[in-house]
Amino acid sequence: MNTYQKKERFFLVLILGLLTAMGPLSIDLYLPAFGDIAQSLGTDISSVSLSLSSYFIGLSIGQVIYGPFLERFGRKKPIYIGVLIYIFAALGCAATTSVQGLIVYRFFQALGACGGLVAARAVVRDLFDTREVARVFSMLIMVVAVSPIIAPTLGGYITTHFHWRYVFGLLVVLALLILAGTIILLPESRPPNPAYSMRPASILKNYREVLRNPHFFIFAISGSIAYAGVYAYLSGSPHLYLEIFGVSQSQYGLIFAFVAAGLIGASQVNNLILHRYSSENIIWMALILQSAIAVILLAVYMLDYAGFYTITLLLFAYLCCLGFIFPNASALSLSGLGHTAGNASALLGGIQMVMGALASALVSFFLDQTSIAMFLVLNVCAFSALGLLSFGSRRFAMRLSGS
């Protein structure tokens, strides 16, 4: 890093973290308002929940769309466009009079949020080497992870004391501040490339090139599968704590914050141990430990050997492992792809969303049939990621040796 980058590192990470956090913040902040939204729009909560589904669809599609734009027009212009789309869509959500309108506006709000989400990863890859990328991703996790801790409480307060429409008003204000910060503080890390083709055939060819990169394929997919455990936990933990353990809503909020703190804390410890260990070694150790914890979780729950506190501590430990896996896997997947970091970042985000949505869907689908659904999916995520990393690393080593 040069002197300017060292001096501005804090503000750079803050802006990149806020750009990354726009996506999850827009989910966590309005979840407590579902009941009020349904009553206000003359519908039911299940219909309002479709606005969450449309948001996830927008996040999945949008990330892949932005990749070529980041390569063609540089990093900052696509961010500006994305944030402006986000602002107008949030205003639409605040003003809508029908649940159908909310569903549509939420889709476009997600498309807008993707601009900053994809660009942030690309900017990090542009400005830092692989080991530094892992450290910066760890710091981004700290900014992003604040969202599920404070956003639901803040959203509930706004809904209770004002109106649910003010939730989207707050998102507009935050987006304007992020836009101003991007304009003032974020450097243009990659100039526009007028020669980059925007033809569909060329775009698909570029994405194929990224997928054929062994480092990207191994670490992007294994890291995404492992991190899908977060989505499994998000889908299954309300049933576990509210229905099985019978805690109150406020107690569940405290549990949620405690477990999320494990992810945040581990990501910061990751910064320290990167001075002694490589990203590859950290991922291996974390995945092995995560798999062991997943087995213990399933066993103690099925055999009824543990209660509330033991299960909570084990879930805390499981998410701690993800604080080591996610930043290092993301950094390694983007290594060697500096020439096409925008496409690589977009594809990485798309894979993460697909794996997360699949894990969430599996928990939701099987939860009606068995209470161990979340624990089963947590095991599938951990062991699938470990198996893919083991298999992929051996194949990669064989290719290098010419076997």
Question: pLDDT tens digits for 150-183?
Answer: 777 777 778 878 888 888 999 999 999 999 988 9
pLDDT at residue 403, rounded to an integer: 44
Q: DSSP class of residue 245?
A: S
Span 102-124, average pLDDT: 87
Q: State the CATH number of the domain containing residue 155.
A: 1.20.1250.20
Q: Are the C-beta atoms of residues 229 and 378 closer than 8 Å to each other?
A: yes
Six token digits for residue 20: 């990354």
Q: Structural domain of residue 38, as residue ranges? A: 1-198
Q: State pLDDT tens for residues 135-149.
A: 777 777 767 766 666
Does residue 259 carry a pLDDT above 60?
A: yes
Span 272-277, average pLDDT: 81
* Domains in the chain, number: 2
Secondary structure element (H or E) that encloses residue 370, with its range? none
Please check whether residues 168 and 72 belong to one and the same domain: yes
Q: Are the C-beta atoms of residues 151 and 303 closer than 8 Å to each other?
A: no
CA angle in degrees (0–180, nearest 5) for 35-39-45: 45
Please check whether residues 84 and 109 belong to one and the same domain: yes
Q: Are the C-beta atoms of residues 6 and 97 closer than 8 Å to each other?
A: no
Q: Which of 143-152, 326-335, 377-386 has the highest mean pLDDT?
A: 377-386
Please check whether residues 166 and 227 belong to one and the same domain: no
Q: State pLDDT tens for residues 310-324.
A: 888 999 999 999 888
Q: How far apart are CA 87 and CA 115, in angstroms?
A: 12
pLDDT at residue 250, rounded to an integer: 67
pLDDT at residue 88, rounded to an integer: 94
Q: How confident is the model at residue 339 (pLDDT cuts 50, 70, 90)?
A: low
Please check whether residues 205 and 159 belong to one and the same domain: no
Does residue 134 carry a pLDDT above 80?
A: no
Span 200-211, average pLDDT: 79
**130 vs 224, which has greater pLDDT?**
224
What is the percent of the chain with per-residue pLDDT over 70, rounded to a whole number?
88
Domain boundary among 167, 198, 229: 198
First to last CA, the chain: 39
Six token digits for residue 196: 């980059």
Please check whether residues 218 and 165 belong to one and the same domain: no
pLDDT at residue 367, rounded to an integer: 65
Please check whether residues 113 and 237 belong to one and the same domain: no
Does residue 287 carry a pLDDT above 90?
A: yes
Please check whether residues 337 and 239 belong to one and the same domain: yes
Please check whether residues 295 and 160 belong to one and the same domain: no
Please check whether residues 194 and 305 belong to one and the same domain: no
Six token digits for residue 286: 């974390």
Dihedral sign for Cα 264, 265, 266, 270, please: positive
Q: How far apart are CA 354 and CA 174, in angstroms?
A: 27
Domain boundary among 150, 181, 198: 198
Please check whether residues 356 and 378 belong to one and the same domain: yes
Span 174-198, average pLDDT: 82
pLDDT at residue 317, rounded to an integer: 93
Q: How far apart are CA 268 and CA 323, in angstroms?
A: 8
Q: How far is CA 308 from the centre of its chain?
A: 27
**181 vs 271, which has greater pLDDT?**
181
Average predicted confidence (pLDDT) for the chain? 80
Q: Which of 53-67, 141-155, 344-358 has the lowest mean pLDDT?
A: 141-155
Please check whether residues 13 and 106 belong to one and the same domain: yes
Q: How far apart are CA 221 and CA 211, in angstroms?
A: 10
Does residue 9 carry a pLDDT above 60?
A: yes
**Following CA atoms 236, 239, 240, 245 in sequence, which dihedral angle do they give, to the nearest 10 degrees?**
170
pLDDT at residue 293, rounded to an integer: 94
pLDDT at residue 318, rounded to an integer: 93
Length of the chain: 403
CB-CB neighbours of 324 under 10 Å: 28
pLDDT at residue 313, rounded to an integer: 92
In sequence order, the 6+-apart residues with CB closer than 8 A to the CB of 85 are: 108, 109, 111, 112, 115
pLDDT at residue 233, rounded to an integer: 84
The model scores a pTM over 0.85: no
- Using CA atoms, how far residue 306 sits from 164, 230, 244, in Å, is 40, 22, 13
Q: How far is CA 347 from the centre of its chain?
A: 13
Q: How far apart are CA 93 and CA 261, in angstroms?
A: 31
Six token digits for residue 312: 């909570």
Please check whether residues 171 and 217 belong to one and the same domain: no
